[in-house]
Amino acid sequence: MCKRFAVPLVAIVAAVVFYFQDIILSTVNLIAEYGVHGIVLIESNNRVILKKTTIKPDNPQFVCASLVKQITSTLILRECERDIIKLDEKANTYLKESQKIDDRIEVQHLLSHCSGLQEDNTVEFDPGSAYKYSNRSYVVLGMILENTTKSSFMELAQNLLLEQSMLDSFLIDAPTLPEIQQKHPKLILSSIANKVHFPHYRKGNQQIFPRNPCGGLISTAEDLSKWNMQLHNGKILSDKWYQCMIHPRAKSNFPEGYYGYGLCRYSKKEIYSIGYACGYKATMSYFPKSQISLVILENTTCGNYQKDFRYHRWIRFLTKLIIQ
């Protein structure tokens, strides 16, 4: 009796799953059509599950802002793997005299936004005792990398991007978005592009953008999906340091979840990060169980964090339901 109904039962289950998946993807497509001004890309094992683009050209580039923190933290953890940097060492150990910060701050505090470090280099709370998102912490991590490797952060990051064949990704390399677009025509400008100026200084003939380690990434959905799949499948960090990166360190309200090093653990089912700056917003999620990558990039913001990421949250929730 069991054998008689086994095959039909499997077929029925498969049909139900297929129908359910189709509803999910149709809903995501609808949200992307009317709620996203940019691109939504869902992939699994180099297979496109859904790609919805509401702007031109093909493979457009967006300012991804804080998504670069994954690059910065990866570079730090690689130096840890080489035993050049220690996570529980004081950050000042790796900083020049003119760069010194509060001597209680350790490298791990900077990575997890638990340093309390503010833009003016004062400390808001005892390092390690609380969480508060700090771009300044990642600027300091960039200094540490430059001091320990004797290379510029721009060079280190670009080499890592090339290593992953992310050929359409780069760091901010000009003071304004229109100037960047002149160098990189596929960059989609935001509505406030002419109001944005990136702080920099000159070193000889070079323009140095010291805030690149905290928010300087410009990339495409395809490149970011490639990074997602490579990082979370052991192609960029060894398992020891990857687990160190994704381990939840502190409860976070921005982004929501539990922050690790450069990314956030929303739940056991999702690891993600967001970027939000100068008229752009970005979400990059990875769902370990189904091995699905989700990237959402837009060149519009309304200035309200909760409203700006509303549709991103809906798409993240629906993507979590996809079964591979």
Q: Are strands 38-44 and 47-53 parallel, antiparallel or unpaired?
A: antiparallel
Token pair for 88? 């529980």
pLDDT at 7: 52
DSSP state of 300: -
| Residue 204: pLDDT over 70 | yes
Q: Where would I find the H helices in 84-188? A: 107-111, 135-149, 153-163, 177-183
| Residue 19: pLDDT over 90 | no
From first CA to last CA, the distance across the chain in angstroms is 30
Query: Domain of 242?
Result: 2-320
Each residue's pLDDT tens digit, 165-198: 999 999 999 999 999 999 999 999 999 999 999 9
Distance CA 64, CA 304 (A): 17
Cα atoms in the 13 Å half-sphere on the side-chain side of 36: 29
Question: Using 50, 70 and 90 to split pLDDT, how confident is the model at 303?
Answer: confident
Closest CA to 212 of 136, 137, 278, 153: 153
pLDDT at 1: 45
| Residue 311: pLDDT over 60 | yes
Distance CA 95, CA 102 (A): 11
Each residue's pLDDT tens digit, 220-236: 999 999 999 999 999 99
51 three-state secondary structure: strand
46 or 111, which is more confident: 111
pLDDT at 305: 87
pTM comes to 0.93
| Residue 134: pLDDT over 80 | yes
Question: Using 50, 70 and 90 to split pLDDT, how confident is the model at 21?
Answer: confident
* Mean of per-residue pLDDT scores for the chain: 93
pLDDT at 58: 80
| CB within 8 Å of 252: residues ≥ 6 apart | 113, 131, 133, 258, 259, 264
Closest CA to 266 of 288, 244, 290, 243: 288
Question: Using 50, 70 and 90 to split pLDDT, how confident is the model at 9?
Answer: low
Residues 258-271, mean pLDDT to the nearest whole number:
95
| Residue 122: pLDDT over 70 | yes
Q: Of all residues in the chain, what percent carry a pLDDT higher than 90?
A: 85
Cis peptide before 8 (omega within 30 of 0): no
Each residue's pLDDT tens digit, 50-103: 999 999 878 899 999 999 999 999 999 999 999 999 999 999 999 999 999 999
What CATH number is given to the structural domain containing 313? 3.40.710.10
| Residue 5: pLDDT over 50 | no
| Residue 316: pLDDT over 90 | yes
Question: Using 50, 70 and 90 to split pLDDT, how confident is the model at 217?
Answer: very high
pLDDT at 299: 96
pLDDT at 12: 57
Residues 6-16, mean pLDDT to the nearest whole number:
56
Number of domains in the chain: 1
| Residue 147: pLDDT over 50 | yes
Residues 238-255, mean pLDDT to the nearest whole number:
95
